[in-house]
Structure 1
C-alpha cells in the first residue's frame, strides 16, 4: 500500500552544486548520504546544522542540487499517490530568511517599495496588500492550534514579524497535500517564548494528525535545543559532512549559547535624564489593529541620547515593530505626535520648517526583516551582489531605504572603510563567500544580516536600529559583530536600539530596556 511506502528515500547520494560534466570541480555535498524517512509518525526528523549546510540540504531535497547517482533520491509514497513532490507534495517554509525574496506576506517583489514607509501608504491606497490574513492563508476557517483566530480578519501589512510567520506556516499547510511533507527551517527564530511553545505544539500535533497527515521535518541551527517530540536527528558540519545520524541524544536537548550576559537582570527604574536627545517621544498613543485590545502604546515616552543603548522586548504583536517604524519616521504617527528627530519635528513649527523624512533617515542605520525583504534580487538583469548592498549604505539614505550606490561614486574614505569591514570579518566568513560575486539573495540568512549590519554602520549613523539582527547567527559570527559595534561604529556619540527575544542575541553593551504588552509599556535598566 502507498501509505507504507517511505516518504523520502535517499540512497548513497552525493550532491553537487553544478551538473555534469562540471561535478568533479564542484564541492561534494553530503557525501554518501543514505536516509529513509517513513510516511507516518514513527520517526520525526530534525536537520541540525549551521545555516549554510541546512540551506543546501533544503535545496537538495527540493531538486535544486544535482545528486550522484542521478536516481538516488525518491519520494515513494508521493509518487504512488501521483502527487508532485516539487509542488503540493513537499512544502518548504523557510523562517530563517535564507534565500532572500519578497516580504513573507505582502507578495511584493523585492525592492518594489523602495522604502519602508510604503507599507503604511498601501493601507490608504487599498492595494492588494489590504487583503486579510484569512483571504491570504485560504480556507473558510483558521487552522486550529496555530493562533490565527485573532488575526484572521486583520490586514497582512498590519502583522508583526512573529504573526507573519504563523500566517506563512498556515498558508503553506493549506497549499500542501494530505500525505505530503513539510520542512520548516528554524521555526522558532524571532518568536517570543509563548509563541515558540505554540508553534512547537502545533507542529507536533501536525506530525501526529490523522485528519490532515503530514511528514514534518525541522531545520534547527547547531547549538539550539531540539524540541522534545523530535525522535531522530541528522547533523551536518559546516563543510556539509555528516556528523551524526540516528535517534536523538541527550545532548540534543541542550542549548549552547553565549554566557557573556549570564547574571544580568533587569530592574524597573525611572527614565534617565538625557540632555539634547537625538530622538524624543512624548505622550505617544497608537491604537491596536484589533479594537478590542489595549493600545500598542499609551502615553509612551522615550528619549534617546548620545551613548544610549536600549533593548525593546515583548510578545509578538505587542508593538515592537511599530516602535521601530516610529523611530524611522515611517509610521503616520511621526507626523501628528510630539516626536522630535535630531531637534526637529516632521510638521512645521512657528519659525521652523518640518524636517523631511529623508533628512531623518540619513542619520539612521537599520537592520530588520522588513528591510531584508525589500533588497532587490536583480538590477539590469544581473543579480545584486553582497558588495552592491553594502556600498548602498554610503548613499544619503542608504542606512534605511534605497539600494543605489552613492551619487558621484565612492570616496577614498569609503573605500578605506569597506576594506576595514572586510578585514574585520575575514576570519569568520566561509571560503565560498565572495563580496563581489556572491548574490545577496542566495546567501544564508546570517550572512545577509551581516551585510545589512555593515551597510547600516557604513556612514556611522547617529541612531542604529537592530531588529533581530543577530537572530540565527552562530556565536562566532555574532561575537565578531559585537566587536564591530564596539569599535567599528561610532557608538560613543550615537544611540542603539535592539529588538531581540533572546538574551544571547542581545549585544552585551545594552544598558536599558523598554517592554511592550497588553499590560502597557514599562522601562528600566540592566544591573
Structure 2
C-alpha cells in the first residue's frame, strides 16, 4: 500500500550537513561537513506491530546532540532537496511542534522557559521573594507560562489532559511538587520536569538527549518503564534518544546508530546487528585482522552493550570476557590502600541543619539523639584529607547541601554551620570576624549543573579556567606566574578534549606547544562534554581546601571521564594510559590538605579515592541519613552500590545469556 502523501515526518537521502554554509569565506573556525551522505528515514508507523525506536550512541565529540539538531532542521543541508523537514502540512500540524527536543546541553530546549532554574545568579533560586514569572510546576507542565498569552498559544486541553498530567507526574515523581515554583526544583527534578513537559505536548517525534543523565537509580527505572509504555503504545508518537557508549541501552530500543569521533555514522540498523558488527570489529582489531582507527577507538566499547531492563542494569559490556581485553582498557583502577579514619582539621561542621520553605522541609526532616539530646536535621563533619561520596534520590537535599557549603543559600546564616572553623555570623565573646562570602568562594572549588547553567557562554576557554582566581565569572582574575603556568599546562594536557578543531592520528596525541587556541574559542562553542571537562578543571585547578563535584563527570564518555579522574588524583604525573610519565609536574592532584565531596548517581562516576559516604533519605520520609566507609573503589562493587541506594541487585546473567 502506498504511503499517504505529505505525511512523512523526516526523510534524508544522501545529505551532508554544515553549521555554516560551505561557501562562507569569512569564518573564524573550521566548518567541516557533518554526517556526510546521510541516509535516514523516520516515518509514521504503518501497521507495524513492533515500533521502531532508535538510540544514537557515540563517545565524546561524536556529535550526538548535533545529530538531533540535524533532525530538528537546525543545520544547513547540502543539497537542500536531500532533506524533507518535516512534511506535515496536510495534517495541519505545526512542524515546530511536531518535533520536540529535550536536552541539557544548553537553554534552547524548545520547552518554554530556557531552564526551570534560570536566574541571574546562583542564590536567586533560594530567595523567599518570588516574582510574577516564577510559575508553578503545574503551570510549567501545562504550558501556562506566558504573562499575556495569545489566542493561539499552545496549551494542553483542560480536563482532558488532567489524567495524563497526573499519570506522567506520578511516573516521574513530580506529583508532590506541582504547586512549587519551578525555581525550587533540584537538578534531577528539573530534568524530569522538562521530559514531562515534552511528553504532555504529544509530539510526533520526541528527541531525548541522554534522558537518564542526572537521575537517581530508582527514578531511572521509573522513567525507563514510562518511556517503554509510551514507545509501545498504539500511537503515532515516535522516540529517538542518545546515550554514551558506557550507558546501558533500554531493552525496548530496536535500532542503533553508532557515531564515530569525527561526526560520522559508523553503523546503523537493528540493535543486535549493530552490536554484532561492533563486536566483530573489536575481535578483528585484537586478533590483528583489522586496524584500529582513531575515529572508532576500542576503549569506547568496553562497557557498550549492557541492557537497562525493568529490574536494573543487566548483561555484560561488548568486550567483557574477550581474550586480551585488557589491551584496550587504558584506564586501570588506582591501587587503593585503606587508611585509618582522618583526624585532620574540620573544614565543614554541620550540627543539626534543617532547611525548609514555609512548612516544606527540603533537607534534614529527621530527628536523632546525640549526647542525650534530640537534634533536628543533618549532623556531618568533613575533615582535611577526607574523600566523601554524597548520594540520595533527586530532591533529597544534595543540591541544598552544596548551596550551604558554597554559601549561596540565605539560610546558611541562620543554621549551625561552621566552615573552616568559623561561623557566618559573629559569635558571642569572640574577637574573630565572621566568615565572608568571598572567603568561602576563594577556598572552595565547585563544579555543578548550576555553575554550568550560569557560566557566561561568551567567555573564552582560557578565561573560564582563569575565573577560578576571580571573585565573579566576569571580574578580572588575580593570576600570578604560577597560576598562569597551571592554566597553560592544563590547557595543553586537555587539548584533545577542549579544542573543537583538534585532530590527531591514531594513538596517544601529544599536547601542542601552544595553547593560543584557548583564546579563540568561546565556552558556548564547545560541546556539552567539553564544557563539563572545562568546568571540572576550573573547580580543581586552584587547589582549594574543599573540592565539590556535583555530577561533574556526567556527559563525558569513559575515556574522558577516567582521564579527568586521574588528573584529579595525580595531576600531571598521570598520563593518558594511567601510568606515570616523566614530566615536571606543574599541576598536582589532590593533597592530604584538601577534602573532596563528590555527588553522583552513577557508581562509575565516583572517583576511586572516595572512602567515606553519606546517603540522604527520600524527602519527607522522616528516615535518617546513612553513613559508611568503603574498603575498595565503589565502581567495582555493584552489590554495595545497590545496598547504598536500598535497591536489590540486578539479576545475574550467565555466560550463555540465560538468567
SS at match of 1:204: helix
Distance 1:372 1:420 in 2: 23
CA distance in 2, matches of 1:278, 1:172: 43
Q: Give secondary structure in 1 for the equivalent of 2:354.
A: strand
1:147 alignment counterpart: 173
Q: Which moved more, 1:14-23 or 1:228-237?
A: 14-23
Match of 1:443 among 506, 523, 526: 526
The alpha-carbon deviation at position 239 of structure 1 amounts to 0.8
1:29 and 2:34 correspond: yes
**TM-score of the superposition, structure 1-length normalised?**
0.87
Q: Offset of 1:203 from its aligned partner? A: 1.9
Q: Residue 410 and residue 107 in structure 1: after superposition, are their counterparts in 2 closer, same or farther (change >3 A)?
A: closer
Q: In the aligned structure 2, how far is the partner of 1:245 from the partner of 1:29?
A: 16
**Quick check: which has more Rg, 1 or 2?**
2
Aligned to 1:276: 345
Of 204, 212, 229 in structure 2, the residue corresponding to residue 188 of structure 1 is 212
**Displacement of 1:471 after TM fit?**
0.9
Residues 9-58 of structure 1, C-alpha deviations (whole Å, 9 max, x = no match): 11111112221424997312111111111213621111111243112212
Gaps of at least 5 residues in structure 1 are 378-382
Q: Secondary structure at the match of 2:80?
A: coil
TM superposition shift of 1:107: 4.2
Asked whether 1:93 is paired with 2:121, we answer no
The answer for the alignment partner of 1:380 in structure 2 is none
- Report 1 or 2 for greater relative contact order, CA contacts < 8 Å, sequence distance ≥ 6: 1
State the alpha-carbon separation in 1 of the partners of residues 391 and 91 from structure 2.
47
Matched, 1:134 2:138: yes
Kindly report which structure 2 residues correspond to 1:252-263, keeping only aligned pairs within 5 A, or say none.
Answer: 253-254=305-306, 256=317
Corresponding residue of 1:364? 444
CA distance in 2, matches of 1:273, 1:26: 52
CA drift at 1:358: 1.7
The answer to whether the 8 A contact 1:282-1:339 is kept is: yes
Structure 1 residues 196 and 289: CA distance shift in structure 2, 3 A? farther
Counterparts of residues 157-196 of structure 1 (less than 5 Å): 157-174=183-200, 176=201, 178=202, 180-196=204-220
Q: For each residue in 1:391-430, what CA deviation from the matched residue of structure 2 results, as whole angstroms up to 9, or x when unmatched?
A: 11111x3xxxx212435x5322221111111122235455
Counterpart-to-counterpart distance in 2, 1:81 and 1:390? 50
Partner residue, 1:404: 474
Q: Tell me which of 245, 257, 277 is aligned to 1:234.
A: 257
Deviations along 1:420-455, whole A, 9 cap, x unmatched? Answer: 111222354555164222221232222111111222
- Deviation of residue 100 (structure 1)? 10
Q: Cα–Cα, structure 1 residues 477 and 296, in superposed 2: closer, same or farther, change >3 Å?
A: farther
Seen in structure 2, the aligned counterparts of structure 1 residues 292 and 503 have a Cα distance that, compared at 3 Å, is closer
Give the alignment of 1:215-226 within 5 angstroms.
Answer: 215-226=238-249
Which residue of structure 1 lines up, in the alignment, with residue 222 of structure 2?
198
Aligned to 2:518, the other structure's residue is in SS state coil
Residue among 597, 600, 621 paired with 1:500? 600
Q: What is the root-mean-square deviation of aligned Cα atoms in Å?
A: 3.2
> Aligned residues, how many?
502
Unaligned runs of 5+ in 2: 143-155, 276-303, 307-315, 321-328, 367-375, 503-516, 572-587, 632-659
Instruction: With the length of structure 2 as denominator, give the TM-score of the two structures.
Output: 0.70
Alpha-carbon separation, structure 2, partners of 1:414 and 1:329:
25
Which residue number in structure 2 is paired with residue 453 of structure 1? 536
- Greater shift, 437-446 or 367-376, is seen at 437-446
Distance 1:253 1:477, change over 3 A: closer
